[in-house]
Amino acid sequence: MEPPAPKRRCPGLSPRYRPDSLLDLSAKKVAECWAFEQVEERFSRVPEPVQKRIIFWSFPRSEKEICMYSSLGYHPPEGERDSRVPFNRGLQLMQSGAVQRVLQVGFHLSGSVTESGDPERTYQVSISFDRCKITSVSCGCENRDIFYCAHVVALSLHRIRRARGVELRLPISETLSQMNRDQLQKFVQYLISEHHTEVLPTAQRLADEILQLGSEINRVHGAPDPTAGAGREDENCWHLDEEQIQEQVKLLLANGGYYGASKQLQSMFSKVREMLRMRDSNGARMLILMTEQFLEDPRLALWRQQGAGMTDKCRQLWDELGALWVCVVLSPHCRAEERESWLELLGRWNALDICPLEEGNYSLDGPGTQTQPQGYNSNQAPAPRQTVFARALKAGELRWTDAHLQRVLSGETGAPSSAVKSSTDMLSYDPQGRPLWLGDHFPVACARVDALRSHGYPQQALRLSVCIVNTMRLQRQHQLESVKQQRKELQLKGITSLTNLEGWVGHPLDPIGCLCRTFLEASLPEDEGLSLYPDIGGEQRKVMYQHVPLPGATANGESYLCLALEVALMALGQQRAMPEGLYAQDKLVRSEEQIIGLLGTLDMAERLIQVLRKQSVLLLEGGPYSGFGEVIYRESVPMHTFARFLFTTLLPHDTDLAYRIALRAMRLPVLESILPPHGSDILPLDSMLTSRFPRWFILGHLETRQCELASAMLTTAKGDPKWLHTVLASIQKHIHSPALLFKLAQDACKTATPPNAPPDTTLLNISLELGLQVMRMTLTTLTWRRREMVRWLVSCATEIGAQALISIMQNWYALFTPIEATTIVAVTCTSPATLLRFSPDPRQREELCSCARALALQCAMKDPQSCALPALTLCEKDHTSFEAAYQIVLDSASSGPGAHSHLFTVARYMEHRGLPLRAFTLATLALSNLSIGFSQDTHPAVSDVLWACSLAHSLGKAELSTVVPLVIKSVQCAPVLSDIIRRCSLAPPGLAQALSSSSGGRGRGSGGRADKPPLCQLLEAAVGAYISTTHSRLTHISPRHYGEFIEFLAKARDTFLLAPDGHRQFSQFLDNLKQTYKGKKKLMLLVRERFG
């Protein structure tokens, strides 16, 4: 039906504006609130035009609900639409004219939607609706999802945007009532003929039942009409596919290890909040379905059986689930029976063994300011933990009927007159007459705010938030007054009590995030109102907040934006205990970073800077209630991340206050009360800290944040010696990680030496001082980065100058190990590149070299085995030092096991330098400290022994005669001895040959005979070693080693044959073996086959 004819327009109105008639205004209200059955019962006869207007206005009029049920969030601006979202696809289909043959019959809408493509597809869509809500949908695409498909969206949007172009008919029952018998029969027959394959069996069954007089169908008055709308008893809610929701949640939980699944579940939670905000009853309904699937997750029982905690992603989802139930139960408009049904479900879920427990040590109903003595033992048995639903059950006891609360929500901000003030009123208003709310624990009061926001009461949520802030301010004022009285006592004791076991940041109910977002939402321009919700998807955009004044405030007075900043600062600076459990601690860190990130979107103009400055001063003066107080509790949550935000924000406006805040926050008392001072020799490694502090799972992260704060101060203090030295003192006092101190030192050095500017000497010296501290800390507990640290320290000292290098070399014993001092420090200090830097001053170069030689000699005396060769290398150019180093080597010849190795190394070095006699002396000392057993033919010193014998052979018979007895004493391995004999029987090559040609009659350089002295002694020892080794091997020989043994005998024969009567000796040796080991027949058979 077409709308009524246009009426005369009122003067002054837009030409396009056409006011609704009284009939339309009435029909709108009736269509929204009354079921059509009630209309028919109330009035005996409803005129057809009235029926049509009611039916016309009964279809949903807003696209918001259509969007809500066809996408995971609000649709983005026009240019940012995602074609995969059903709502956006449906909008494109509608705009392209894909919707055809639209017909509305009563409360039923049908049409066809054509999608272009290859091939082109057309889908039949039908929608039932009642009281401005879609109650059921059907589409030929058979797309099963928790949201409406694009074709349903296209048809719905077509009906909303082009409503007056849709053909409208009364319910089909009204049309049938106008037909006579023949028309009805024709109608039924034509209908069956059109759809005989689908409806013929049903039509026959119904006909049979109607023809039976006593059938149930004949006892019922009238007949059903799917186009006549819902009955008065029918539930009026939007269509929601419960089965699909359950299947989708089950599937996503099964893929819970993937980021996408977790993100989709979070989107579904956001959809619940969106429904609650629209006051849609499906919000609670959808949450029930999701909760049931969560509790059916098979991993819960597995985790409980194994005693393992659930994954972080899963824990976050459970946290959100519990918080949503608090929000649902605190609904300001729900019926009592609804709340009771929710609480019954929650009680049943809460009693399940698999129901997850809440992480952390947060109380349900404590005041949140419990005093904890300094001697509190964190290892005491913790209080029983509640499940994730416990808070929702507790919230079920709360009501909205309190008279003062109702006055606050209604906007009555003024206090009663003094003549009628009662004691209750005095507790409900502050001295300035501003309302307070003391009826709930702070997080619970904020949960009320969240419930008001979530259920579509933004103004009431804002009023209650202001009331809560007034309460926070009054409590802080009382705290500051008590601090002034206790200040002297606290400073004398040097200890404090923990005033808040339960912090507000990281709390399961997220009270601070709720208050901040409430105030920020009120500070947004109208067109930015949706961007604040994190459930929209995508990253939060930076917006220009406005200073919206509080009711009764002046234009430049308090604004909601200032309150948002004040609340965040008060909460972030609160002194509170570190919560228990890894997840709770990790959540605390994430919550803190989220709030600071939210503050980062603010434009810190003058008004906000005033708030920031005032709150920072109050934090410094807050005593035991502030994390920036003069004395803090040992297990307080550190303030490093928050302090860095304050520091960087305040620095351009108030430098002194910025540094005071940052320096006060550098403390990490949980470490400072346990670890020894930096000067102590006993210091745990970084990797041991977690085992030392098992309750602080995020200690490494906190130390990193502490380092970042210190780095920010060092960087900004460049060029200011006063602040640089103050920051250095704080770093040395409070940072206990060598790795982080080293990073600080590196960053400071990089900042102090820009590529195109002169270096900052003060900052460079501070960088060096930090590096020296790292050296002292890690001297006795070496780390894998130690060599890197030493090299960097030397390079830093080089940037400062020669005196810095000389200083670290003179004090090397407190900073480096001997091997580090000689191989890295001294070598780098005397390298050509380093000396080239000081080329204009020869005295500096000589002083560096002299200091390096003195260091090398000291290190050689302390650790000769490791440092002798580096010391000799460093002292090559100074004869006196070189001789001193050589004497140190000689004096340390018998300095414990392994001495032969370094003696051989130094001996080879001496030969390389052209000092063969000194090399020979060292080689003999090395042989005196060596022992090679009969089976050690792969001993690492074998090559050194062969080299020593070759050296002695090249020097002459006297030297060889000196070496042979040492070799016989030190080496019992027969193959090694035989190898020495063969090498000494040959003329020596190289240097020895040259010496032989220049020494004439001494006969050096010629090969010797094995049967002549001194090699005959060596040959005798080799033969004896072969005989002993043979008997030893035969004692425990197995058949699989027979082949090796035959080859061993072949080598022995070669050695025997070096003697004049070697053949006879070997034959006697074999005969002895055959007689002695005749029981080993197979082995002896192999011996005969090989040797006869």
The pLDDT tens digits for 325-337 are 999 999 999 889 9
Banded model confidence at residue 426, pLDDT cuts 50, 70, 90: low
Distant-in-sequence, close-in-space partners of 472: CB < 8 Å, separation ≥ 6: 442, 567, 570
Distant-in-sequence, close-in-space partners of 493: CB < 8 Å, separation ≥ 6: 631
Question: Is the N-terminal amide bond of 19 cis, ω within 30° of 0?
Answer: no
C-alpha closest to that of 472 among 498, 506, 437: 437
**What is the pTM for the complete model shown?**
0.80
The torsion of the CA quartet 313, 318, 319, 324, rounded to 10 degrees, works out to 130
- Residue pair 944/900 in contact (Cβ under 8 Å)? The answer is yes
**β pairing state of 167-169 and 133-139:** unpaired
Lowest mean pLDDT segment, chosen from 153-157, 310-314, 410-414: 410-414
- Using CB atoms within 10 Å of the CB of residue 1027, give its burial: 0 to 12 exposed, 13 to 18 middle, 19+ buried: middle
C-alpha closest to that of 892 among 859, 851, 852: 859
Give dist(CA 171, CA 182) in Å, integer. Answer: 21
Q: What are 275-298's pLDDT values in tens digits? A: 898 888 888 999 999 999 999 988
Task: Retrieve residue 670's tokens.
Answer: 């949980």
b/e code 825-855 from CB counts within 10 Å (16+ = b): bbbbbbeeebbeebeeeeebbebbbebbbbb
Domain positions in the chain are 20-171+227-239, 181-224, 240-374+384-396, 442-635, 893-1033, 1037-1092
Q: What are 808-867's pLDDT values in tens digits? A: 999 999 999 999 999 999 999 999 999 888 877 788 899 999 999 999 999 999 999 999
Give dist(CA 453, CA 437) in Å, integer. Answer: 18
C-alpha closest to that of 149 among 63, 240, 68, 86: 86
Task: Name beta bridge partners: 168.
Answer: 104
Banded model confidence at residue 1016, pLDDT cuts 50, 70, 90: confident
- Across 456-606, the runs of DSSP E, i.e. the strands, are none
HEC string of 705-746 equals HHHHHHHHHHHHCCCCHHHHHHHHHHHHHHCCCHHHHHHHHH
Banded model confidence at residue 528, pLDDT cuts 50, 70, 90: low
Give dist(CA 481, CA 430) in Å, integer. Answer: 16
Please count the other Cβ atoms lying within 10 Å of the Cβ belonging to residue 786: 20
Give dist(CA 1050, CA 1091) in Å, integer. Answer: 8
The label of the residue with tokens 């997220």 reads: 510
Give me the sheet containing 167-169, strands edge to edge. 133-139, 121-130, 108-115, 99-105, 167-169
Lowest mean pLDDT segment, chosen from 66-80, 440-454, 582-596, 634-648: 66-80
Greatest alpha-carbon span in the chain:
151
Give dist(CA 326, CA 447) in Å, integer. Answer: 7
The torsion of the CA quartet 1015, 1018, 1019, 1021, rounded to 10 degrees, works out to 160
C-alpha closest to that of 141 among 126, 156, 157: 126
Task: Retrieve residue 986's tokens.
Answer: 């040959």
Q: Mean per-residue pLDDT for 755-780? A: 93
- Residue pair 942/932 in contact (Cβ under 8 Å)? The answer is yes
Q: Is the pLDDT of residue 514 over 50?
A: yes
Residue type, 799: E
Q: Mean per-residue pLDDT for 358-370? A: 58
Task: Retrieve residue 703's tokens.
Answer: 């130390």
Q: What's CA 208's distance to the chain center, in Å?
A: 70
Banded model confidence at residue 3, pLDDT cuts 50, 70, 90: very low
Q: How far apart are the first and last CA of the chain?
A: 126
Give dist(CA 955, CA 18) in Å, integer. Answer: 123
The torsion of the CA quartet 61, 64, 66, 67, rounded to 10 degrees, works out to 160
Please count the other Cβ atoms lying within 10 Å of the Cβ belonging to residue 755: 4
C-alpha closest to that of 366 among 383, 354, 346, 378: 383
Give dist(CA 963, CA 954) in Å, integer. Answer: 12
Q: What are 228-276's pLDDT values in tens digits? A: 777 766 777 888 888 888 888 888 888 865 667 888 888 889 889 988 9
Give dist(CA 570, CA 477) in Å, integer. Answer: 12
DSSP state of 311: P
Q: Is the pLDDT of residue 533 over 50?
A: no
Q: Is the pLDDT of residue 993 over 60?
A: no
b/e code 304-324 from CB counts within 10 Å (16+ = b): eeeeeebeebbbbbbbbbbbb
Give dist(CA 303, CA 253) in Å, integer. Answer: 14
Q: Cα–Cα distances in Å, from 936 out to 900, 973, 1025, 1029?
A: 16, 6, 12, 11
C-alpha closest to that of 273 among 290, 257, 261, 256: 290
C-alpha closest to that of 297 among 347, 261, 342, 343: 261
Give dist(CA 296, CA 253) in Å, integer. Answer: 10
Banded model confidence at residue 430, pLDDT cuts 50, 70, 90: confident
Distant-in-sequence, close-in-space partners of 117: CB < 8 Å, separation ≥ 6: none
Residue type, 508: P
